[in-house]
């Protein structure tokens, strides 16, 4: 029982294991899921440990128990174009003569296609009123909202008769899935776990566990134990590639990351470079005010260093002395030497590459990308890449 549901969760990207399955069955034996509402809540508590998997769970639950497939994307997410529901809708619209392949490839933008798709999807979810078959409002169909069906799925809308399990509504969690497009609301959440909590200040925080232990040890004579407050002492250096033509397509993405990192970390310093780091970095975007890289290396080794750049350059820029392409920069040491010094000084360092990971081996500059990957742990500038970066820095 529920075996196929477990496999379906895995297919939808929810990482469940045997221990969770055993906990689920144990809960069923204890009567923790007496109806579909409580089953949904209980299963989510057991199987979901991270916010990023909430949406996948809700979609899998809706498909397994009600046969409704929800696209794994929001209305604005262009990744929707690759989903099965969108492809099925496209083929149907073309077969009905509402669209042509010419429209799909040339006449209509991706945003317009997605808008039309959602209009069709929501036509039944929002515009149909009454009846007992279609998704809509009112009536006695088990799908929709504000109806009189005893049990069903409420789609959008507010609860009226309290007879539905709230599975399909506003998509609250999809922005946190690793495959989602990087956006302002999810990048901050992805950076949040990056902390360095250390005791600081006078002992003013009550240590409850130690107080109980010492009190019991003294035969009930209360002994209050205080400890110093844990404060986030993380220090971050952000190095941004701000000069190469190859970075132009990623300016918006880089700005978004920069703004969220600046908002998230109080102790933050940021510098700029072009293509590769040499004897100087710069403290201003036009790269006019130099800052010695050797002075940067005097920062504490516990500092977290994030380098953002495509790492795509001529091999000479990375491997040879005097190889810098920037006018006026004539460094006697190769860029790779400076990168290795940064890596050796800061064990908490990661290179974030805006080029999608699946293009690293074929794009221009793949040789230098491969070399830089041999020095730094490299992730692409996606939500999944940032999450991997945070996990890597925390594990270090």
Which residues have CB under 8 Å from 144's CB, separation 6+?
Answer: 125, 128, 134, 135, 136, 137, 138, 152, 153, 154, 155, 157
Q: Which two tokens stand for residue 381?
A: 């500038």
Name beta bridge partners: 353: 380
User: What sign has the CA pseudo-torsion 172, 178, 182, 184?
Assistant: positive
| 137-176 pLDDT per residue, tens | 444 444 444 444 444 444 444 444 444 444 444 555 655 5
Spatial distance between the Cα atoms of 239 and 258, rounded to a whole number of angstroms: 10
Which of the following CATH numbers is that of domain 236-395: 2.60.120, 3.40.50, 1.10.860, 2.30.30? 3.40.50
| 202-221 pLDDT per residue, tens | 777 788 888 888 888 888 88
pLDDT of residue 263: 82
pLDDT of residue 313: 92
Q: Let me know if 56 is exposed, middle or buried by CB neighbors in 10 A (0-12, 13-18, 19+).
A: buried
Helix H, strand E, coil C: the string for 237-251 is: EEEEECCCHHHHHHH
Q: Where residue 123 falls among pLDDT bands split at 50, 70, 90?
A: low
pLDDT of residue 198: 53
Q: Are 15 and 30 in contact (CB under 8 A)?
A: no
Q: Is the pLDDT of residue 79 over 90?
A: no
End-to-end CA distance of the chain: 41
The residue with tokens 């880089």 is: 254
pLDDT of residue 202: 75
Give whichever of 86-95, 109-118, 245-254, 340-349 has the largest mean pLDDT.
340-349
| Half-sphere exposure of residue 112: CA atoms within 13 angstroms, side-chain side | 8
> Domain ranges in the chain?
3-175, 197-232, 236-395
Name which of 238, 222, 171, 230 is nearest 204 in CA terms: 230
| 331-381 pLDDT per residue, tens | 889 999 999 999 999 999 999 999 999 999 999 899 999 999 999 999 998
Q: Are 240 and 274 in contact (CB under 8 A)?
A: no
């Amino acid at each position: 029982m529920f075996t196929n549901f477990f496999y379906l969760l895995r297919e939808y990207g929810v990482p469940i294991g045997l221990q969770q399955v055993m906990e689920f069955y144990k809960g069923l034996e204890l009567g923790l899921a007496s109806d579909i509402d409580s089953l949904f809540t209980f299963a989510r508590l057991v199987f979901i440990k991270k916010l990023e998997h909430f949406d996948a769970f809700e979609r899998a639950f809706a498909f397994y128990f009600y046969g409704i497939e929800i696209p794994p994307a929001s209305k604005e997410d262009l990744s929707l174009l690759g989903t099965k529901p969108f492809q099925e809708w496209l083929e149907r619209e073309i077969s009905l003569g509402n669209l042509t392949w010419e429209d799909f490839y040339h006449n209509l933008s991706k945003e317009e296609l997605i808008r039309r798709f959602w209009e069709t999807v929501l036509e039944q979810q929002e515009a149909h009123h009454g009846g007992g078959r279609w998704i809509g409002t009112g009536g006695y169909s088990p799908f929709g909202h504000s109806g009189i069906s005893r049990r069903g799925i409420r789609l959008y809308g507010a609860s009226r008769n309290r007879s539905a399990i709230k599975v399909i509504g506003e998509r609250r969690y999809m922005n946190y899935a690793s495959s989602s497009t990087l956006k302002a609301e999810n990048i901050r959440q992805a950076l949040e776990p990056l902390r360095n909590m250390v005791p600081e200040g006078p002992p003013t925080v009550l240590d409850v566990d130690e107080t109980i232990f010492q009190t019991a040890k003294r035969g009930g004579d209360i002994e209050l134990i205080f400890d110093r407050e844990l404060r986030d002492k993380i220090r971050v250096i952000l190095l941004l590639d701000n000069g190469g033509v190859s970075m132009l397509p990623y300016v918006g993405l880089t700005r978004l990351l920069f703004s969220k990192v600046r908002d998230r970390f109080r102790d933050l310093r940021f510098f700029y470079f072009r293509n590769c780091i040499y004897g100087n970095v710069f403290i201003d975007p036009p790269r006019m005010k130099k800052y010695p890289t050797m002075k940067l290396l005097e920062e504490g080794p516990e500092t977290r260093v994030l380098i953002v750049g495509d790492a795509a350059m001529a091999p000479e820029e990375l491997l040879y002395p005097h190889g810098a392409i920037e006018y006026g920069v004539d460094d006697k040491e190769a860029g790779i030497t400076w990168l290795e010094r940064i890596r050796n000084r800061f064990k908490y360092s990661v290179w974030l590459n805006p080029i999608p990971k699946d293009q690293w081996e074929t794009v221009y500059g793949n040789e230098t990308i491969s070399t830089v990957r041999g020095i730094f742990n490299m992730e692409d500038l996606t939500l999944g890449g940032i999450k991997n970066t945070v996990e890597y820095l925390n594990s270090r």
